[in-house]
Copies of this chain bind each other. A is one copy, B any other.
Amino acid sequence: MDVLDWLRAALGDEAVASGVLSTDDAELEAARTDRSGWIADGRPLAVVHATTVEHVQATLRAASEFRVPVVPRGAGTGLAGGANGTDGSIVLSVTGMNRIVEISADDELAVVEPGVINADLNAALEPFGLWFAPDPASKAISTVGGNIATNAGGLLCAKYGVTREAVLALDIVLPDGRLISTGHRTVKGVTGFDITALFVGSEGTLGVIVGATVRVLPIPPGVPTTIGALFPDVRTAAGAAARVTASRLRPAVMEILDGPSLERISAYLGEQVIAEAFGVTHGGSYLLTQFDGLSAADDAEAAAQVIREAGGTVEVSVDAEAGERLLAIRRAFHPALAATGEVLIEDVSVPRSRMAEMFAAIESISARHGIAIPTVAHAGDGNLHPNFVYSGDVVPEAVWDAANDLFRTAIELGGTLTGEHGVGVLKRRWLADELGPDSYDLQVKLKSVFDPLGILNPGKVFG
């Protein structure tokens, strides 16, 4: 009896008949990759499409019995290779566990299965006047479980926090198949160690999240006000963003597009789009700022003044349509790049005060390596996404050389090699550099408390 025989017996005939266990070629192939484009060597044994906690437990028990690796997977929208099905593994997909179990408006929380799509949760919350703040660019297609596993961020984190701040409690299946519950349904609670927080950003290496109680927030009242501003270069745009922060205003969104980005966006959208909004063809950098809440218009007026003084050519939205025009420039970033080739989206974070230095370093790394690196930054929180456009199936080693310089610079500036995408496979070779040997060693030991057999997502994060 091999692991799949054992697993079939554990899942039961009914589950197997309904397709919970798949060894279909196309599915096995698809499970080898994610949105990073990285493709795992070899091939997984099977994909389990779990629809119940029991399916997850059966899979982990089978894997423990036969020492077979398990790769937990949501929608596969990750950008670091964290959910890619490796050779000989069982890919454990939880996208079929997609029920919204409860929305409690009184307690401002939702209880969900891990496969619920972020945007679907928000659609369900909207009638209650509530929303789920984690806002990754993938929110239309990524799962809440995946958001938790990578501690996903997005555009709104300076004001509304990262995913960690939104997770109250988890149901987790441990590698040996036991189900535990962590955390609290309450806002406060300090009974023992915060295992919930330990799982946020753990990239499927400690256990499988089968349920989450997440905090939800009242939808900010009023209409957001949006400011678009063109600058001669990214340095002055970053300076303006710093001055907005220093003014103690609190934008919901503050995004910088650098010169190489804006150039590609202009080409993609057509130059008239920017010309119509600003009366000039294009600038050397774009700063997008948005305020929400009842004081949005007043805050935006004050911020617009700050941005003008910092050298920006400013447009403030007068209505939702005008706001959309200003947002559209930012939204065109990814499509504009994708139109020109394959894209590796990088994800460094630095203290806000070092952002201009990081932009300067990106320029010089770009020049040194002869590779264009169009970059967008969440300027409110110092998270930059330098993007590499390349051709072919595999990221060229020359790109990784340039990325290596990026990561080391971010760490030198007091930052981190991943703000919101995670380590996965693609950044594991730099993890020890950032953590240092003692912390790295502690992390490996922590993993072994949860996963003594090392069956859960081996080769991810820790290499």
Contact = CB atoms under 8 A, between A and B. Distances in A.
10 contacts: A104-B351, A174-B438, A181-B439, A188-B383, A189-B415, A191-B416, A192-B423, A195-B443, A294-B295, A445-B449
Contacts of A138: none
A109 B158 CA distance: 13
Given A193-B202, A446-B193, A187 B242 contact: no
Interface string A84-102: 0000000000000000000
A218 B250 contact: yes
A106 interface: yes
Interface string A118-137: 00000000000110000000
B165 A349 contact: no
A437 to B, nearest CB: 10
A420 interface: yes
A193 B198 CA distance: 6
Interface string A161-205: 110110000000010001011101111111111110110111000
Given A107-B353, A107-B382, A190-B418, 11 more contacts: A151-B188, A157-B188, A158-B187, A164-B197, A165-B165, A186-B382, A190-B201, A192-B462, A193-B443, A194-B197, A195-B439
Given A415-B185, A450-B442, A352 B191 contact: no
A381 interface: yes
A427 B198 CA distance: 23
A417 interface: yes
Contact of A185 (B187, B246, B414): B414
A142 interface: no
Interface stretch (A49-57, A337-345, A428-436): A428-436
A296 to B, nearest CB: 10
Nearest to A461: B192
Contacts of A192: 201, 423, 431, 435, 439-440, 443, 461-462
A115 interface: no
A330 interface: no
Contacts of A233: none
Interface in A193-238: 193-195, 197-198, 200-202, 206, 218-219, 221
Contacts of A105: 246
User: Which residue of A130, A184, A383, A423 has the most chain B CB atoms within 10 A of its CB atom?
Assistant: A184
Nearest to A182: B439
Given A106-B242, A246-B106, A294-B298, A418 B353 contact: no
A245 B189 contact: no
Number of copies: 2
A357 interface: no
A423 B191 contact: yes
Label chain A's interface by main secondary structure: loop
A416 B168 CA distance: 13
A174 to B, nearest CB: 8
A421 interface: yes
A381 B191 contact: no
A442 B438 contact: no
B164 A194 contact: yes
A420 B383 contact: no
A198 B201 contact: no
A75 B432 CA distance: 36
B184 A416 contact: yes
Contacts of A202: 193
A153 interface: yes
Nearest to A349: B186
Nearest to A186: B349
Interface in A240-274: 242, 245-246, 248-250
